[in-house]
């Protein structure tokens, strides 16, 4: 359409009746056509017509919805826009319709409706763009100020828009190129106006009137835009901050709002972080990664989840002790004194630790084996680890590995995961803040395995001196040097430590304590520690050694001293209450147990009796100091004894023998019970036994059957075939604990021998040893723990394999003195020692082969 040139429209126009949208001259509109009249118009006029004239139609706006009344023609708006149908698109979905693209040419008014069907045709009169007016510049002069004013507003409006958009730039150019009288129509169709307003502009046939009506619309639009820009301003700033150089804002001294201040704070933090990164002593590789990340951080909007993630990462990197270490102060003599002061007994362990430290002193290199303390709980493994750190003047950190079954626990999660974090090693380093701490890897035997990978494999890398100088945590994603870290491991048993890991470690066995050692440990270390923890002094509480022995034998049954420590803690708590009550004179002690002290007199020294805690209770007076803990007070505080000497009771029938077992928790005594009943010669085994133990039971039966005659062993019906019409049931309490190993062999034989001979096994004897089918007794492991367990249980004689004799040297002299050891190399010797007066063997009848 040539702007400004005159247009001549036909005097008869087919009418397109629209019910939404108003087409103004000079603008284009897309409209959907589906009423029968309009469809007809499109079909018979637009689609069939061949000349340009046939594509000119009259668009009449604001007609009521044409679909509702298709018969009667609705009342038509008087003024319409002659338009050029530029495009017709037909579609059958969702119902048959056409979409027309029409461009407005000029206004017309209906003079007379010529026909209504199949589509309306009217005789029209063209109202603008007439030839006689187009060359008249007079109108412009007349309008003068009005059109100038309009033009100014139009320019202002367009310049408020984003000029980088090509359509806006084109519009700006059009403002200058188009004749002024065309502008009101064009701008009205561009700006936000209601249909009603557009209709008014359409009806404004006089140019002056049109200008007057459009100026307020333009002004309204300008104000609207201004408001919009104002509300958007902070957001734009935000974008700017993201995109570019923030310091500029500060230089320009723009007064800042609170939001700005927050941003600046953040910005300061990031700058500080960058400074910290640059001044930190991290490795070159790490520095490179950090600088890259901080660059990314600066460009990131804070609202992005990745912002916090990256920031946490950078903060961790800054905090890590890349080059920070404590100075080792190692003097072997001082170390020996410190170890001796902190720990009683455990000579072997202390000796090995001192050797280890001595080597370190001479050769400042950590490429030795990793020490692994293996022993029952509560024997001081952790506490020795802590002492090592103390002697070296290093930081100490304990990493509990029990139950860890995901390798990310060691090596960290990759940063792509939500909630990703570094592994325990890196976390530990962050906590201690130096790169040469002592790390105690607690309970390496309880590492698990799962689908998330094998944590033991990850630990291998950590512990291998050849690899750990460039340990790469998945979260950090850069290497960290662990070669200065001193690793010590602890475990209850080596059986469940993965072999590859075991290979890297030097195992130091830490056996359980004897009763005497426990008493010493209690009095030298545990009681003073507990008193201090409870705010008590030795002047307020007195625990004699007999009481400690009572706690050890009657209230605990353990290889270590942990539960002894707990019981002492309980006693201290109870005494603390008494002492506190005593400080308030009027407070009445509420204990009432009087007169049951008779049975415990033997535990209390004569002169201390009056000061016992229970004796003072009924006087309603503050207790006299020090409060003496006798057996009676013990019963009062800890309840009745948990373990009584039950051995003799349980051995009151034939078919019971005491074995010695080794568990990760130390040695234990084990009662093996057997019974027989009528049956078909079946052997039943209960008590969660492993395969090896089951085999031992079969071996024992076989040996006894083959030697039944020699020992005169018979079944219930007097037959030497022990399984003839007889079933045997063997049970190993406690039924809930899994047991395995060959060392119960001799015990099973003794137990069955007792069952079939009807004789009682001596009640003070315990035994251990593997058997063979020929009746030999083979050596077994864990002798020291087993002997200690027997000693704890009050047994007097222990039968051990002869080849285990050398192991007795490790046992404390006082324990050895309390016990009698029987060395057995065959089962005959075992049975002879197990039964009072020996186990009769029918002398073999020597048969002489006569040769005639």
Write out the binding residues for ATP.
375-382
Residue whose pair of structure tokens reads 């070669």 in the numeric block: 483
| Min dist. Cβ of residue 522 to ligand ADP (A) | 9
| Min dist. Cβ of residue 596 to ligand ADP (A) | 33
| Min dist. Cβ of residue 440 to ligand ADP (A) | 9
Closest to ligand ADP by CB, 521 or 771: 521
Q: Rounded to whole angstroms, how far apart are CA atoms 647 and 501? A: 41
Q: Rounded to whole angstroms, how far apart are CA atoms 183 and 625? A: 109
Token pair of 24 as six digits: 């103004």
Query: What sign has the CA pseudo-torsion 830, 835, 838, 844?
Result: negative
Residue whose pair of structure tokens reads 């400690």 in the numeric block: 548
Task: Kindly give the residue spans of alpha helices, DSSP state H, lying in 522-627.
Answer: 527-533, 545-550, 562-583, 613-617
Q: Supply angle C-alpha 796, 802, 807, rounded to 5.
A: 75
Question: Considering only residues 11, 136, 195, 383, which one is a binding residue for ligand ADP as defined by CB under 6 A?
Answer: 383
Question: Considering only residues 380, 412, 589, 741, which one is a binding residue for ligand ADP as defined by CB under 6 A?
Answer: 380
Q: Which of residues 71-110 bind ligand ADP (CB under 6 A)?
A: none
Catalytic residues: 743, 786
Closest to ligand ADP by CB, 383 or 587: 383
Closest to ligand ADP by CB, 557 or 705: 557
| Min dist. Cβ of residue 612 to ligand ADP (A) | 28
Question: Considering only residues 29, 102, 143, 379, which one is a binding residue for ligand ADP as defined by CB under 6 A?
Answer: 379
Task: Kindly give the residue spans of alpha helices, DSSP state H, lying in 244-392.
Answer: 247-251, 258-279, 284-299, 305-319, 332-342, 347-362, 381-392
Question: Considering only residues 129, 381, 603, 739, which one is a binding residue for ligand ADP as defined by CB under 6 A?
Answer: 381
Closest to ligand ADP by CB, 490 or 715: 490
Torsion of CA 228, 234, 239, 245, to 10 degrees: 140
Task: Kindly give the residue spans of alpha helices, DSSP state H, lying in 598-690.
Answer: 613-617, 631-638, 647-650
How buried is 70 (Cβ within 10 angstroms: 0-12 exposed, 13-18 middle, 19+ buried)? exposed
Q: Give the gyration radius of the chain's Cα atoms.
A: 51
Exposure b/e, 685-707, CB count within 10 A at least 16 = b: bebebeeebeebbebbbebbbeb
Coil/strand/helix, residue 33: strand
Token pair of 785 as six digits: 């723990």
Q: Which of residues 542-561 bind ligand ADP (CB under 6 A)?
A: 560-561
Q: Which of residues 505-534 bind ligand ADP (CB under 6 A)?
A: 521, 525
Closest to ligand ADP by CB, 550 or 558: 558
Closest to ligand ADP by CB, 377 or 801: 377
CA 497 remoteness from chain centre: 24
Question: Considering only residues 382, 515, 540, 743, which one is a binding residue for ligand ADP as defined by CB under 6 A?
Answer: 382
| Min dist. Cβ of residue 322 to ligand ADP (A) | 31
Q: Which of residues 704-763 bind ligand ADP (CB under 6 A)?
A: none
Q: Are 750 and 761 in contact (CB under 8 A)?
A: yes
* 377 is a contact residue toward ligand ADP (CB under 6 A): yes
Q: Answer left, alpha or beta for residue 307, where phi above 0 means left and psi between -120 and 50 means alpha.
A: alpha
Closest to ligand ADP by CB, 380 or 623: 380
Closest to ligand ADP by CB, 380 or 741: 380
Q: Which of residues 559-578 bind ligand ADP (CB under 6 A)?
A: 560-562, 565
**DSSP bridge partners of 79:** 109
| Min dist. Cβ of residue 385 to ligand ADP (A) | 8
> Which segment (255-263, 378-386, 643-651, 746-754) binds ligand ADP by CB under 6 A?
378-386
The full length of the chain comes to 852
Question: Considering only residues 26, 104, 120, 378, which one is a binding residue for ligand ADP as defined by CB under 6 A?
Answer: 378
| Min dist. Cβ of residue 376 to ligand ADP (A) | 7
By DSSP bridging, strand 726-731 and strand 666-678 are antiparallel
Contacts of 16 (CB under 8 A, 6+ apart): 31, 33, 38, 41, 57, 58, 59, 60, 83, 100, 102
| Min dist. Cβ of residue 382 to ligand ADP (A) | 3
Q: What DSSP assignment string belongs to 682-707? A: -EEEESSB-HHHHHHHHHHHHHHHHT
- Prior bond of 481 cis (ω within 30°): no
CA 162 remoteness from chain centre: 50
Closest to ligand ADP by CB, 314 or 346: 346
Q: Rounded to whole angstroms, how far apart are CA atoms 829 and 835? A: 10
Q: Are 662 and 493 in contact (CB under 8 A)?
A: no
By DSSP bridging, strand 370-374 and strand 28-33 are unpaired
> Which segment (152-160, 353-361, 373-381, 658-666) binds ligand ADP by CB under 6 A?
373-381
Q: Rounded to whole angstroms, how far apart are CA atoms 262 and 270? A: 12
Backbone angles phi, psi at 764, to 5 degrees: -110, 15
* 491 is a contact residue toward ligand ADP (CB under 6 A): no
Q: Rounded to whole angstroms, how far apart are CA atoms 227 and 208? A: 30
Q: 284-299 and 305-319 helices cross at what angle (nearest 10)?
A: 150
Q: Rounded to whole angstroms, how far apart are CA atoms 781 and 801? A: 10
Which residues contribute to the annotated binding site? 375-382
**DSSP bridge partners of 33:** 98
Token pair of 369 as six digits: 């084996």
| Min dist. Cβ of residue 511 to ligand ADP (A) | 11
Closest to ligand ADP by CB, 80 or 512: 512
| Min dist. Cβ of residue 586 to ligand ADP (A) | 38
Closest to ligand ADP by CB, 529 or 694: 529
* 309 is a contact residue toward ligand ADP (CB under 6 A): no
> Which segment (175-183, 201-209, 375-383, 749-757) binds ligand ADP by CB under 6 A?
375-383
| Min dist. Cβ of residue 633 to ligand ADP (A) | 23
Q: Rounded to whole angstroms, how far apart are CA atoms 66 and 39? A: 11
| Min dist. Cβ of residue 285 to ligand ADP (A) | 38
How many positions of this chain bind ligand ADP (CB under 6 A)? 18
Token pair of 243 as six digits: 């995109």
Closest to ligand ADP by CB, 519 or 660: 519
Q: Which of residues 336-355 bind ligand ADP (CB under 6 A)?
A: 343-346
Q: Which residue is nearest to ligand ADP (CB)?
A: 380
Contacts of 624 (CB under 8 A, 6+ apart): 610, 611, 616
Token pair of 781 as six digits: 């492991």
Residues that bind ligand ADP (CB under 6 A): 343-346, 377-383, 490, 521, 525, 560-562, 565
């Amino acid at each position: 359409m040539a702007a400004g040139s005159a247009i001549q429209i036909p005097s008869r126009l087919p009418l397109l009746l629209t019910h939404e949208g108003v087409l103004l001259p000079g603008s284009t509109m897309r409209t959907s056509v589906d009423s029968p009249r309009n469809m007809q118009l499109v079909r018979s006029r637009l689609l069939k017509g061949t000349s340009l004239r046939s594509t000119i139609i009259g668009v009449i706006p604001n007609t009521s919805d044409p679909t509702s009344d298709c018969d009667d023609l609705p009342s038509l708006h008087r003024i319409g826009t002659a338009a050029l149908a530029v495009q017709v698109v037909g579609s059958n979905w969702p119902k048959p319709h056409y979409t027309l693209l029409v461009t407005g040419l000029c206004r017309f008014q209906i003079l007379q409706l010529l026909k209504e069907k199949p589509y309306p045709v009217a005789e029209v009169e063209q109202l603008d763009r007439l030839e006689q007016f187009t060359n008249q510049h007079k109108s412009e002069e007349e309008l003068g100020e009005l059109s100038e004013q309009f033009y100014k507003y139009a320019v202002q409006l367009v310049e408020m828009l984003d000029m980088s958009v090509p359509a806006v730039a084109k519009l700006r150019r059009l403002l200058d190129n188009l004749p002024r009288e065309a502008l009101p129509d064009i701008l009205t169709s561009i700006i936000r106006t209601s249909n009603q307003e557009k209709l008014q502009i359409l009806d404004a046939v006089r140019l002056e009137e049109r200008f007057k009506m459009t100026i307020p619309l333009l002004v309204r639009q300008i104000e609207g835009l201004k408001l919009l820009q104002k509300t958007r301003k902070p957001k734009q700033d935000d974008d700017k901050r993201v995109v570019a150089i923030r310091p500029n804002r500060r230089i320009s001294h723009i007064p800042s709002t609170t939001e700005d201040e927050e941003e600046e704070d953040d910005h300061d933090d990031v700058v500080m972080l960058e400074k910290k990164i640059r001044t930190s002593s991290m490795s070159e590789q790490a520095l490179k990664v950090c600088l890259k990340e901080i660059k990314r951080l600066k460009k990131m909007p804070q609202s992005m989840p990745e912002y916090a993630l990256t920031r946490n990462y950078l903060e961790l990197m800054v905090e890590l002790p890349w080059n920070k270490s404590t100075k080792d102060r190692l003097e072997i003599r001082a170390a020996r004194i410190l170890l001796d002061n902190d720990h009683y007994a455990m000579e072997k362990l202390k000796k090995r630790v001192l050797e280890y430290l001595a080597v370190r002193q001479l050769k400042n290199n950590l490429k030795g084996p990793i020490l692994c303390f293996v022993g029952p709980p509560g024997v001081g493994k952790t506490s020795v680890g802590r002492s090592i750190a103390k002697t070296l003047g290093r930081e100490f950190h304990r990493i509990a590995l029990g139950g860890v079954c995901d390798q990310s626990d060691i090596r960290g999660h990759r940063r792509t995961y939500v909630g990703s974090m570094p592994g325990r090693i890196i976390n530990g380093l962050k906590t201690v803040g130096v790169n040469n701490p002592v790390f105690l890897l607690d309970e390496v035997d309880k590492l698990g395995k799962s689908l998330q990978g094998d944590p033991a494999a990850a630990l291998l890398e950590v512990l291998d001196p050849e690899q750990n100088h460039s340990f790469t945590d998945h979260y950090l994603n850069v290497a960290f040097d662990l070669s200065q870290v001193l690793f010590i491991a602890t475990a209850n048993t080596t059986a469940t430590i993965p072999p590859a890991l075991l290979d890297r470690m030097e195992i130091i066995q830490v056996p359980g304590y004897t009763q005497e050692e426990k008493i010493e440990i209690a009095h030298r270390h545990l009681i003073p520690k507990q008193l201090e923890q409870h705010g008590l002094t030795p002047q307020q509480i007195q625990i004699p050694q007999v009481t400690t022995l009572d706690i050890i034998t009657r209230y605990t049954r353990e290889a270590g001293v942990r539960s002894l420590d707990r019981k002492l803690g309980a006693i201290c708590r109870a005494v603390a209450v008494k002492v506190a009550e005593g400080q308030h004179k009027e407070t009445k002690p509420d204990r009432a147990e009087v007169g049951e002290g008779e049975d415990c007199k033997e535990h209390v020294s004569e002169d201390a009796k009056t000061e016992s805690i229970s004796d003072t209770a009924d006087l309603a007076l503050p207790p006299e100091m020090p409060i003496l803990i006798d057996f009676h007070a013990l019963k009062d505080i800890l309840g009745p004894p948990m373990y009584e000497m039950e051995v003799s009771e349980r051995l009151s029938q034939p078919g019971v023998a005491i074995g010695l077992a080794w568990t990760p928790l130390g040695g234990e005594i084990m009662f093996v019970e057997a019974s027989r009943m009528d049956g078909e010669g079946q052997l039943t085994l209960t008590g969660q036994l492993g395969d090896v133990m089951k085999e031992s039971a079969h071996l024992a039966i076989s040996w006894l059957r083959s030697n039944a005659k020699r020992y005169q062993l018979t079944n219930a019906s007097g037959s030497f075939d022990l399984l003839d019409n007889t079933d045997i049931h063997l049970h190993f309490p406690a039924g809930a604990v899994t047991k395995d190993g060959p060392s119960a062999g001799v015990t099973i034989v003794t137990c069955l021998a007792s069952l079939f001979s009807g004789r009682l096994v001596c009640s003070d004897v315990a035994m251990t040893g593997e058997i063979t089918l020929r009746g030999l007794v083979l050596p077994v492991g864990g002798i020291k723990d087993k002997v200690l367990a027997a000693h704890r249980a009050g047994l007097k004689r222990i039968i051990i394999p002869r080849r285990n004799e050398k192991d007795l040297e490790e046992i404390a002299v006082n324990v050895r003195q309390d016990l009698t050891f029987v060395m057995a190399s065959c089962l005959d010797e075992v049975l002879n020692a197990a039964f009072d007066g020996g186990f009769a063997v029918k002398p073999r009848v020597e048969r002489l082969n006569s040769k005639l």
